[in-house]
Amino acid sequence: MNKFRTLSYVLIGITLAGCNGLGKMAKNFSQVKHEVTPNPVEMHGDSVAIAIKGTYPAKYFAKKVDATVTPMMKSSSAETNFKSVTIVGEKSTTSGTKINYKTGGSFTYADKIAYTPDMAAADVMVKATGMKGKTTKDLGSIKVADGTIVTPLLVQADEKPIVGKDQFQRITPSNYEGSMYYLINTSSVNPNFKVKASNIDNKPEFSKLDSALKALSVAPYVLKGSTITGYASPDGKEALNADLASNRSKASAKHIAGLFKKMKVKMSPDSSFFTLNTVNEDWAGFQALMSASDMAQKDMILRIVASNSDAEAREMEIKKMGKAYEEIAEGVLPKLRRSAVVLNADKVGRSDEQITATMKANPDSLTIEEVLYAATLTEDNNEKLSIYQTAERLFPQDWRTANNAGMVKFNMGDIDGAMTQFNKADQINPNNPVVKNNIGACYSRKGDRINAALMYASAAGAGPEVSHNQGILDIRNGNYSMAVSNLSASGSFNTALAKLLAGDKDGAMSTIEASNDKNTAIGHYLMAVISARKGDANGVVSHLKTSVGMDSSMKAKAAADREFIKWFNDASFKAIVQ
């Protein structure tokens, strides 16, 4: 008796479901149209977004039925629901989008969910459940789109750390500058000449010149020449001063030639070694000395010089100042009767071979710049790292040593080790933009985009690497126009990818064809994707064939890539990927 009652209830429920409209709606569920944009759906910035327009035909939606419609991503291993939407019949009291029974109707819907790897090969499904009163029925489940295009995942993790550059210069200017002073109206060299009131004395000047000439004539120096400028003070006749200035430069050259002779070096004062110049009346020097003096009337004297373009008029006005002119004659003018002597020399540093050998035998004898430069002389990362670690030991307070050791570790794939080194460099030199970029690159490799972006924002001015690295983040975050801008200078694979994702198919193709990745497996794969978006079947097949020929792993990748879904049944495509 109990079994009979139970069976009766089931039959009654089935009958009610059929009579109350749910059964008919389930039977005709395939008549409901679902237009999905885009199709296939796409992953951007770690999310999959869809927009759906659902259309119900006339006399489909029962007047008192409520339907819960749930889009979902269904793969072979998982199901992930988008949010549900409630659709109701015209006489339902439930809140939701109403559909007229007689004319039908439609609804629009948009949502996004977090992307998971299984969604790369999945179907977009819509399932619906109907309810009338206390009766509930599955109305059906139908595929509405394909999923998922994941082309942003092609972005290459080629973040660029920045080296702390060495300042090594093998040849550095090492010049000597001195003076030879002369008695008024003479051009005779007198090593013992001095004027106490002006605090000038040739003896120490000549001693320094002699020492400098000897020092700059032997290794590591190379003496290239001497520039001598003869001066006359601005008092007296201009013609006489012109002769004095010229003769003083010649006399100084002759004196230096004599010093060479004592060193057993043959040198003529007329040789090209000497470059002779003259300043007939040194008004510029006069103004500089007056400005630096503590004379009571210096401002008036400077005004006289500035307001008179005629040299003789200046001199006459100053001489009228009596005692002030006497101070000038004793304390200022003697300093202007001189030759300025410059010995031009280069200091030549160690050769590359010497630096490399010394780095191995006696690194403690090298300067910080030589040690950092030594690391640039090898392509072996282990050797580079060893050199930078030695630099850390020898020069622990120079941020470049820790930073550069971190850069090598980064390039070797040791991101944790690199981060430790970069943090050490940041402690030595806080807020250094180079170091901030490098810390950001580590965060980026670790998948921490928020902290990577914060570091890049603090790295302004460090170099073009910062924009390049930010461009990689932009692709991963789905900010493709910004990615194009930030990657524009690099002309890389990622630049082409950013252009493609921003909708510039032609620009993407021209960029990848001009890049260093043109003849790589991943480069040809991207060209195949671009060809697919352009509808170029020949390009798809040609580039995929080349890509797979270079790297067989591209075969499985292409076989599942929804960029090529239109070609899944194409014989030429199948011949490549199967």
203-208 CB contacts, 8 Å cutoff, 24+ apart: 205/178, 205/179, 205/180, 205/181, 206/180, 208/176, 208/178
Per-residue pLDDT tens over the stretch 168-222: 999 999 999 999 999 999 999 999 999 999 999 999 999 999 999 999 999 999 9
Query: What pLDDT sits at residue 20?
Result: 66
Query: What pLDDT sits at residue 312?
Result: 85
> Coil, strand, or helix at residue 325?
helix
Tokens 């493609």 sit on residue: 500
Query: What pLDDT sits at residue 355?
Result: 98
Query: What pLDDT sits at residue 315?
Result: 87
Interatomic CA distance for residues 36 and 160, integer angstroms: 39
Per-residue pLDDT tens over the stretch 34-74: 999 999 999 999 999 999 999 999 999 999 999 999 999 99
In terms of Cβ atoms closer than 10 Å to its own Cβ (0-12, 13-18, 19+), residue 410 is: buried
How many CB atoms lie under 10 A from the CB of residue 317? 18
Query: How far, in Å, are 75, 187, 250, 519 from residue 254 at the CA level?
Result: 95, 12, 6, 67
Confidence of residue 260 (pLDDT cuts 50, 70, 90): very high
- Taking each helix axis as running N to C, give the angle between helix 368-375 and helix 381-394, from 0 to 180 degrees, rounded to the nearest 10: 170
Query: What pLDDT sits at residue 116?
Result: 97
> Coil, strand, or helix at residue 524?
helix
Interatomic CA distance for residues 368 and 386, integer angstroms: 15
Give CA torsion, residues 37, 38, 43, 46, to 10 deg. Answer: -30
Residues 12-37: b if buried by 16+ CB within 10 A, e if exposed:
eeeeebeebbbbbbbeebeebebebe
> Coil, strand, or helix at residue 436?
helix
495-503 CB contacts, 8 Å cutoff, 24+ apart: 495/471, 496/526, 496/530, 497/151, 497/152, 497/154, 497/155, 497/526, 498/471, 498/474, 500/151, 500/526, 500/529, 500/530, 500/533, 501/151, 501/152, 501/475
Separation of first and last alpha carbons in the chain: 62
Interatomic CA distance for residues 168 and 349, integer angstroms: 9
Instruction: Specify whether the CB–CB gap between 43 and 149 falls below 8 A.
Output: yes
Confidence of residue 13 (pLDDT cuts 50, 70, 90): very low
Interatomic CA distance for residues 354 and 554, integer angstroms: 48
Per-residue pLDDT tens over the stretch 144-160: 999 999 999 999 999 99
How many CB atoms lie under 10 A from the CB of residue 204? 10
* Rounded mean pLDDT, 452-467: 97
Confidence of residue 11 (pLDDT cuts 50, 70, 90): very low
Strand 33-44's sheet: what is its strand order?
33-44, 47-56, 105-114
The verdict on pTM exceeding 0.95 is no
Mean pLDDT, the chain, integer: 94
Interatomic CA distance for residues 110 and 163, integer angstroms: 47
Q: For residue 246, what are the contacts with CB-CB under 8 A and spacing of at least 6? A: 230, 276, 278
Per-residue pLDDT tens over the stretch 428-455: 999 999 999 999 999 999 999 999 999 9
The three-state DSSP-derived secondary structure of 17-54 is HHHCCHHHHHHCHHHCEEEEEEEEEEEECCEEEEEEEE
Query: How far, in Å, are 12, 119, 166, 256, 339 from residue 203 at the CA level?
Result: 128, 89, 41, 15, 14
Query: What pLDDT sits at residue 300?
Result: 92
Query: What pLDDT sits at residue 553?
Result: 96
- Closest CA relative to residue 32, chosen from 84, 87, 81, 91: 87
Query: What pLDDT sits at residue 314?
Result: 87
Q: For residue 33, what are the contacts with CB-CB under 8 A and spacing of at least 6? A: 54, 55
In the chain the domains, ranked by start, together with CATH numbers, are 2-149 (2.60.40.10), 171-348 (3.30.1330.60)
HSE-CB of 349 using CA atoms within 13 angstroms:
19
Query: What pLDDT sits at residue 445?
Result: 97
Query: What pLDDT sits at residue 266?
Result: 93
Instruction: Specify whether the CB–CB gap between 349 and 374 falls below 8 A.
Output: no
Query: What pLDDT sits at residue 4?
Result: 42
Per-residue pLDDT tens over the stretch 305-352: 999 888 888 888 888 888 889 999 999 999 999 999 999 999 999 999
Per-residue pLDDT tens over the stretch 355-395: 999 999 999 999 999 999 999 999 999 999 999 999 999 99
Q: For residue 214, what are the contacts with CB-CB under 8 A and spacing of at least 6? A: 263
Query: What pLDDT sits at residue 25?
Result: 97
Tokens 């570091």 sit on residue: 455
Residue type (1 letter), 220: P
pLDDT > 70: percent of the chain: 97
Query: What pLDDT sits at residue 313?
Result: 87
